[in-house]
């Protein structure tokens, strides 16, 4: 029972990071109806930038490195959108998917060349953990889950209370109508990519803090984020959050019953299962999702 509780807590922590990654993913999907396959790689770049700034070179205090990384990654996301995705806005969906995958490969390769393929960790000083009943939580884990919630809350406020948020929701709902109302869709799309990438960077850095850094982590983050979005329901940003937590928990509880080497496969399994059994996910609608061939 103790192990169960501990695994559950670990699952919640990981789930928080996945939820954060998924939320950025879902935002981009709502606006452009396109699966940004490079999302995980962008998260990975964010993680590595944080690492570079904090540990490898400038030795900035971690929070500063963290936020700077979010900013720089946002710029990266906006550039990627401008260079690789915007020319394809009218192209068939398959073209954008191909390009997104290519972008992820390019980013992965670039990081591998610049930072090396070895596993890196943030090597924070070991701190005393807190015991809550049978469960042990380290301060880092508290920071991670706290940060996840913080950013999700920030996003909620942005989307519902600000003018930008309203504009984003307008464009997501009906782009031509939004344009006709005087909203510049291109600017909004760039903003969404920027915000989504910043959130991805945050998620990536937090995942790096929770586990470690390797150039191949991008792909896994993409799959897990996508699984979370699909599970929660395509088009539902809050569904993505729920999906993220579910995946984190199932993953961590899963290693109780199956050998740990299969841990990452769980997310794939969930993804495939959802798409076959209930493509709309938990909170979406099938017709809206457009998953099945007519």
Partner 1 sequence: MLRIENLSKDFGGLRAVDHCSFEVPAGTIFGLIGPNGSGKSTIFNLVTGFLLPTEGEIYFKGERITGWPPYAIVRKGIARTFQLVRVFRNMTVMENMLMGPKHQAGENFVAGVLNLPAVRRQERENVRKARELLAIMGLERFENEYAGNLSYAEQKLVEIARALMTDPDFLMLDEPASGINPTLVENILQHIRRLRDEHGKTILLVEHDMNVVMNLCDWIVVLNYGQKICEGTPETVSCDPRVIDAYLGV
Partner 2 sequence: MEIAVHLLVLITIYGILAISLNLMVGMAGLFNLGLAAFYGIGAYTSAILSRNFGVPVGLSLLAGVALSALIGFIIGLPTVKLVGDYLAVVTMGLGEITRAVFKNWVPVTRGPMGLPGIPHMSLFGFKLDTAPLFLAFSFVMIAISFIFVERIRLSPFGRVLRGVREDEMGAQALGKNTYWYKMIALVVGSGLAGLAGGLFAHYMSFIDPSSFVMWLTFFIFLAIMMGGLGNNLGAVVATGVLMVLREGLRFAGLPPAVAAPLQQLIFGILLIIMTIFAPRGLIPEQKPRYD
Catalog residues that contact partner 2 under the rule CB under 8 A.
34-35, 84, 87-88, 91-95, 97-99, 101-103, 105-106, 108-110, 112-113, 116-117, 215, 219, 223, 226, 259, 261-262, 264-265, 268-269, 271-272, 275-276, 279, 290-294
Minimum CB distance to partner 1, residue 294 (Å): 6
| Residue 36 touches which of partner 2, partner 1, none (Cβ within 5-8 Å per kind) | none
Closest CB to partner 2 among 105 and 283? 105
CB of 152 closer than 8 Å to CB of 19? yes
Instruction: Label residue 160 exposed, middle or buried (CB < 10 Å: 0-12, 13-18, 19+).
Output: exposed
| Residue 5 touches which of partner 2, partner 1, none (Cβ within 5-8 Å per kind) | none
Query: Scanning the structure block, which residue is given the tokens 């495939």?
Result: 272
Q: How far apart are CA 51 and CA 132, in angstroms?
A: 30
Give how far Cα 241 sits from Cα of 103, 174, 185, 237, 282, Å.
25, 24, 26, 7, 11
| Residue 261 touches which of partner 1, partner 2, none (Cβ within 5-8 Å per kind) | partner 2
Indicate the DSSP class of residue 123: -
Query: Scanning the structure block, which residue is given the tokens 């329901």?
Result: 233
Closest CB to partner 2 among 128 and 294? 294
- The binding site for partner 1 (CB under 8 A) comprises 285, 287, 294
CB of 281 closer than 8 Å to CB of 236? yes
Closest CB to partner 1 among 56 and 288? 288
Token code pair at residue 203: 């998620």
Closest CB to partner 2 among 94 and 127? 94
Token code pair at residue 1: 């029972």
CB of 261 closer than 8 Å to CB of 20? no
Closest CB to partner 1 among 216 and 288? 288
Minimum CB distance to partner 1, residue 288 (Å): 10
Minimum CB distance to partner 1, residue 100 (Å): 24
Buried b / exposed e across 161-177, counting CB within 10 Å, b at 16+? eeeebebbbbbbeebee
| Residue 141 touches which of partner 2, partner 1, none (Cβ within 5-8 Å per kind) | none
Minimum CB distance to partner 2, residue 237 (Å): 19
Minimum CB distance to partner 2, residue 39 (Å): 12
Closest CB to partner 1 among 265 and 285? 285
- Could you give phi then psi for residue 131, rounded to 5 degrees? -105, 120
Token code pair at residue 268: 């794939």
| Residue 92 touches which of partner 2, partner 1, none (Cβ within 5-8 Å per kind) | partner 2
Smallest CA-to-CA distance from 195 within 37, 18, 42, 17 is with 42
């Amino acid at each position: 029972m103790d192990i169960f509780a501990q695994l559950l807590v670990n699952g919640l922590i990981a789930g928080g990071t996945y939820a954060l990654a998924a939320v950025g993913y879902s935002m981009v999907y709502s606006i452009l109806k396109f699966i940004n396959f490079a999302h995980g790689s962008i998260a990975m770049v964010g993680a590595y930038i944080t690492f570079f700034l904090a540990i490898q070179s400038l030795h900035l205090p971690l929070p500063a490195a963290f936020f700077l990384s979010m900013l720089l990654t946002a710029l990266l996301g906006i550039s990627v959108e401008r260079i690789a995705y915007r020319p394809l806005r009218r192209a068939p969906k398959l073209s954008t998917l191909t390009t997104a995958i290519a972008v992820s490969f390019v980013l992965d390769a670039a990081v591998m060349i610049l930072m090396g393929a070895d596993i890196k960790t943030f090597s924070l000083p070991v701190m005393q953990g807190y015991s809550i009943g049978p469960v042990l939580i380290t301060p880092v884990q508290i920071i991670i889950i706290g940060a996840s919630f913080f950013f999700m809350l920030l996003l909620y406020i942005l989307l519902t209370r600000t003018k930008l948020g309203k504009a984003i929701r307008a464009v997501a709902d009906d782009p031509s109508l939004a344009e006709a109302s005087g909203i510049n869709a291109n600017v909004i799309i760039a903003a969404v990519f920027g915000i989504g990438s910043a959130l991805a960077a945050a998620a990536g850095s937090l995942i790096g803090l929770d586990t470690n850094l390797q150039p191949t982590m991008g792909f896994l983050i993409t799959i897990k984020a996508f699984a979370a979005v699909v599970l929660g329901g395509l088009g539902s940003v809050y569904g993505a959050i729920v999906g993220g937590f579910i995946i984190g928990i199932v993953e961590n509880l899963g290693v109780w019953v199956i050998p740990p080497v299969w841990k990452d496969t769980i997310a794939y399994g969930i993804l495939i299962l959802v798409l076959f059994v209930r493509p709309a996910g938990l909170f979406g609608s099938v017709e809206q999702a457009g998953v099945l061939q007519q």
